Homo-oligomer: A and B are copies of this chain.
């Protein structure tokens, strides 16, 4: 937005895009849901036929990225994630479309059904949220994943991918539009934008856009929350903890703590904090510390956990005193903040205050500790004797996920198709004179509020 005129032109462009998305959404609502799977099939076929063109665009993105990598401006892992030409990756992307098509349709489900009075039936039926704005990282295949999820759930979507994958995502988007053109779903049902200034203009379109889903860092999410009236679903941080309770079994603690920390350190569901029950300071804790150190994990310890491992080999290299800030930090690397606690309730209190309410695991054999953990912990995913890395839509069997929500409204934890729907109430009068409240509140009718069979649809 360096040029003031571009700000106003991107604002006009944003309004056109958002309005077109809304019109496409509304039009699509009158189309039979079976058309959604036909659209997914058409997209798969078009992409399959244009594989060479997609890979050619991806090669250009890769070349630009490798130049930036050599200049130290991009990380190796990001460049690797850009690459669609890795064996099997393109096919996995296509298979993802078919997998989404085979999931149950999340809309049109009756979740509440009551007869209000004779001949007056109320149904609460799931429906799409409307128009989604999804902002995501570099991986270009996410364009196709999100498009598939949006179409299956009946939501129109505006997508903005990482700038490093621009050429790839541009061609993928135009092939999706080409495919939709052959179907009953409007081609503007899925649109892409490519610049940050378009995003900031789109955030003002609360009249047309219903939900923003940023998948990215803390800064991106907070910036979006501060700049829009549109509801935002996403997660800012992934500060996850493992708590080793008094009754923990050693092997469970070792396996779960080590995997939660080291399996994939950049993931949001990796552990950043370890809490140790005080009774384990001189027994299980030193073994755990050795195992972590042998996996090159740096430990930032409070006084108690520090002093009980000071005689271990290599502590001078791997162990330092922690600060309060460490317990609020998402390290995303080989560092773990460690602290002693005297009870499960103290662990819960620490986590509720410091964590990002994402995923926390307890290692315990005590039923009461488990129960308190699940009741008291204010986190989306409360785990028992299980690695925090299980917090994932695919591992949960949701089929696929749009993202993980650490918010506490609408959807929480891994968000699948269920998280992309809301509901509407349908009230139908079958009475000869129609129905008015005065029939009930001034006339002789009585509200029955009788439950109806949910499997009987309103039409």
Contacts and interface: CB of A to CB of B under 8 A. Distances in A.
Contact of A363 (B434, B440, B447): B434
A87 interface: no
Given A251-B434, A422-B409, A429-B384, A447 B395 contact: yes
Interface in A374-431: 374-387, 389-391, 395-397, 407-410, 412-414, 422-431
Nearest to A345: B30
Given A116-B395, A408-B210, A389 B437 contact: yes
B26 A352 contact: yes
A211 B407 CA distance: 10
Contacts of A396: 114, 116, 122, 425
Nearest to A379: B424
B233 A387 contact: no
A97 to B, nearest CB: 20
Contacts of A130: 378, 408
Interface string A315-355: 00000000000000000000000000000010011001000
Contact of A397 (B116, B210, B372, B433): B116
A424 B412 contact: yes
Dominant secondary structure at the A interface: mixed
A371 interface: yes
A446 interface: no
Contacts of A253: 434
A203 B13 CA distance: 32
Given A30-B372, A376-B30, A385 B434 contact: yes
10 contacts: A122-B396, A124-B413, A374-B458, A379-B424, A384-B426, A386-B429, A386-B436, A390-B435, A409-B409, A412-B422
